């Protein structure tokens, strides 16, 4: 019995020893993994990469080529980080870069470049490698103001945008010969990427609890405890010197009161036009594209320009696409044909002393929308160099593929000086039902959608106003109502009202006057454009603080119209 008791005591003692060993092992493991910092060192995953590119502390998919002055950045990186609208036309190996002041044409493997139509020699050419185009850093610095920090030893390239603000800091250990661990994750138990010496400068890209995510000059990124970092003054990448545009210098705070001059076969005679009170811009429809090569036909008249200037008006020549979708598609498809159009317009502007160019491209395939926007990007810097205002006519937003969907109003609003919203033809010539050319609520919604949905500043929008109206004819044939219309001038409508002794009725919903009558068993309906409707449109433009108004067209107006339209100016 005694021996059995002794054996039990020995068993208990052995179990106690084993339990204590497990406790010590667990405690040791806990201390090692949860209390003591990790001493393991690891290499960053990019060390083996050749010329890795970093943006805001993140390594990108693509690497750079060359180094120092011969450094070249891949096009996909530039499109993602710097300018999404850099254009590469593979058929001609052309690379087109644009700003508000510069149009740059580069060609793969050629040091000859075109900057605003002037030949410039580059030290290093763009090149293609493994199907990717690379652009020399010198061009990017000059055009966009980008900055790079390149570490010769690690090969890391840090790419920064003009105006970028970089929070900076410095490692502080308290002892010059001491280092601080930079870790893979924000934990003392994460492996160490680098032991960072006292006084080392850091770019601080983000903050997470008690840690900063930082980057060193050699490209290494990781986490350092906030207690070991002293913040210093932010570093700001210098931006290229900006200049005001001609529109800002000439038109800021001054509403545009534009009238289109419709020019067909005969030239308008300035002597027969008379005074246009309040009008400060005329836009004659003088220019049109005539073929897919981008050739432009001109009906411009220098005598008309001289007359307009004597009246204190600017002349913005209108360029149309002849409303031909196939012609437009071909002419806008390549840089060569687009620049052909642009160069002709710049030459015409010089020859005929124009003050601006108004683009009116309508009936365009949706697939060509990006090319239209690119055309505007290429036109703007060359026009700006000649002190020319650039505007483009846009329709209200709708689902119409050929008349609305192709227009990228948000992008165009960033490029052009003005977007002229053609807020008419709510009910167009062949509309299946009769109605107003432009009821005020419809006009207001059209403007607000572009302002709110496309982020176009109101001061960049000009409200297009109709000076014509439609006489709608409704005839019942075999139980079905047939609708047709005819456009009339303001005077012609007044004549109908007078001769037929009609009394207009004010329509609250449309906010304009209305008459109807029967003639030869045909019901005639007219939503009238007169002083009442014009005043409501001018007041709308003023309340929304738009850049002005533009009226279509001079020949439809009467004397009362000019009196109302000139109230756009305070």
Q: How far apart are CA 16 and CA 18, in angstroms?
A: 5
Give, for 389, the enclosing helix (H) or strand (E).
strand 389-394
List b or e across 379-390, with b for residues whose CB sees 16 or more CB atoms inside 10 angstroms.
Answer: bbbbbbeeebbb
Chain centroid to CA 219: how far? 33
Between β-strands 179-183 and 147-150, what pairing exists: parallel, antiparallel or unpaired? unpaired
Give per-residue burial for 60-93: e unless 16+ CB within 10 Å, then b: bebbbbbeeeebbbbbebbeebbbebbbbeeeee
Report the DSSP beta bridge partners of residue 257.
549
- Lookup result for tokens 């001038």: 489
Contact 343, 117 (CB under 8 A): yes
Give the residue from 334, 313, 322 showing the smallest Cα distance to 362. 322
Token pair listed for 343: 């160069």
Q: How many Cα atoms occupy the beta-carbon half-sphere of 505 within 13 Å?
A: 8
Cβ neighbors of 460 (< 8 A, separation 6 or more) are 413, 416, 417, 418, 419, 547
Query: What backbone phi and psi angles, to 5 degrees, belong to 221?
Result: -125, 150
CA separation for the pair 550, 442 (Å, rounded)? 17
Q: Residues 334, 335, 340, CA angle at the centre, nearest 5°?
A: 105
Residues belonging to the active site: 362
Find the farthest-apart pair of alpha carbons in the chain and give their distance in angstroms, rounded: 139
Encoded tokens for 366 = 């949706």
Q: Where are the beta strands (DSSP E) in 185-239?
A: 192-197, 201-208, 211-215, 221-225, 229-236
Show Cβ contacts of residue 382 under 8 Å, excluding neighbours closer than 6 positions. 103, 116, 117, 342, 343, 346
Q: Note whether 62 and 76 are within 8 A (CB).
A: yes
Burial letters 435-448, b for 16+ CB under 10 A, else e: bbbbbbebbbebbe
Q: Which two tokens stand for residue 388?
A: 């020319």
CA proximity to 527, closest of 446, 437, 467, 466: 437
Residue entry with tokens 């693509």: 62
């Amino acid at each position: 019995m005694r021996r059995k008791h002794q054996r039990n005591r020995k068993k208990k003692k052995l179990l106690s020893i084993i339990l204590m060993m497990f406790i010590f092992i667990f405690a040791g493991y806990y201390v090692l993994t949860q209390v003591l910092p990790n001493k393991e060192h690891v290499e960053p995953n990019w060390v083996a990469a050749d010329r890795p590119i970093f943006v805001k502390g993140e390594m990108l998919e693509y690497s750079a080529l060359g180094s120092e002055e011969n450094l070249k950045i891949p096009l996909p990186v530039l499109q993602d980080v710097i300018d999404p609208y850099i254009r590469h036309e593979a058929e001609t190996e052309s690379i087109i870069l644009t700003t508000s002041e510069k149009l740059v044409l580069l060609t793969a493997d050629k040091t000859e470049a075109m900057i605003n139509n002037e030949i410039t020699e580059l030290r290093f050419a763009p090149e293609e490698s493994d199907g990717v185009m690379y652009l020399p850093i010198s061009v990017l610095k000059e055009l966009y103001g980008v900055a790079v920090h390149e570490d010769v030893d690690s090969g890391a390239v840090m790419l920064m945008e003009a105006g970028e603000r970089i929070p900076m800091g410095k490692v502080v250990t308290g002892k010059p010969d001491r280092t601080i661990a930079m870790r893979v994750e924000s934990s003392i138990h994460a492996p160490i990427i680098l032991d960072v010496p006292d006084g080392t400068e850091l770019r601080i890209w983000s903050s997470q609890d008690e840690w900063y995510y930082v980057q060193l000059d050699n490209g290494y990124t990781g986490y350092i405890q906030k207690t070991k970092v002293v913040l210093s003054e932010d570093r700001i990448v210098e931006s290229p010197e900006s200049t005001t545009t001609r529109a800002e210098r000439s038109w800021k705070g001054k509403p545009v009161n534009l009238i289109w001059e419709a020019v067909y076969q005969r030239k308008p005679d300035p002597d027969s036009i008379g005074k246009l009170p309040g009008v400060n811009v005329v836009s004659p429809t003088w220019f049109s594209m005539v073929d897919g090569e981008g050739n432009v036909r001109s009906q411009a008249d220098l005598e008309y320009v001289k007359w307009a200037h004597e009246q204190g008006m600017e002349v913005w020549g209108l360029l149309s696409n002849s409303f031909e979708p196939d012609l437009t598609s071909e002419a806008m498809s390549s840089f060569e044909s687009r620049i052909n159009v642009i160069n002709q317009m710049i030459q015409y502007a010089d020859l005929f002393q124009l003050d601006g160019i108004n683009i009116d491209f309508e009936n365009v395939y949706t697939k060509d929308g990006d090319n239209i926007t690119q055309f505007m990007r290429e036109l703007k810097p060359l026009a700006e160099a000649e002190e020319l205002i650039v505007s483009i006519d846009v329709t209200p937003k709708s689902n119409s593929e050929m008349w609305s969907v192709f227009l990228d109003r948000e992008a165009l609003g960033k490029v052009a000086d003005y977007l002229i919203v053609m807020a008419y033809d709510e009910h167009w010539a062949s509309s299946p039902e009769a109605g107003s050319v432009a009821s005020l609520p419809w006009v207001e919604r059209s403007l607000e959608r572009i302002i709110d949905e496309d982020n176009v500043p109101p001061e960049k929008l000009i409200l297009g106003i109709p000076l014509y109206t439609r006489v709608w004819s409704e005839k019942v044939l075999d139980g079905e109502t047939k609708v047709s219309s005819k456009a009339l001038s303001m005077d012609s409508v007044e004549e109908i009202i007078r001769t037929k002794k009609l009394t207009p009725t004010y329509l609250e919903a449309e906010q304009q006057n209305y008459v109807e009558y029967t003639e030869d068993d045909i019901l005639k309906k007219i939503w009238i454009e007169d002083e009442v409707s014009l005043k409501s449109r001018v007041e709308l433009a003023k309340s929304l603080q738009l850049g002005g108004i533009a009226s279509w067209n001079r020949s439809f107006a009467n004397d009362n119209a000019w009196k109302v339209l000139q109230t756009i100016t305070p």
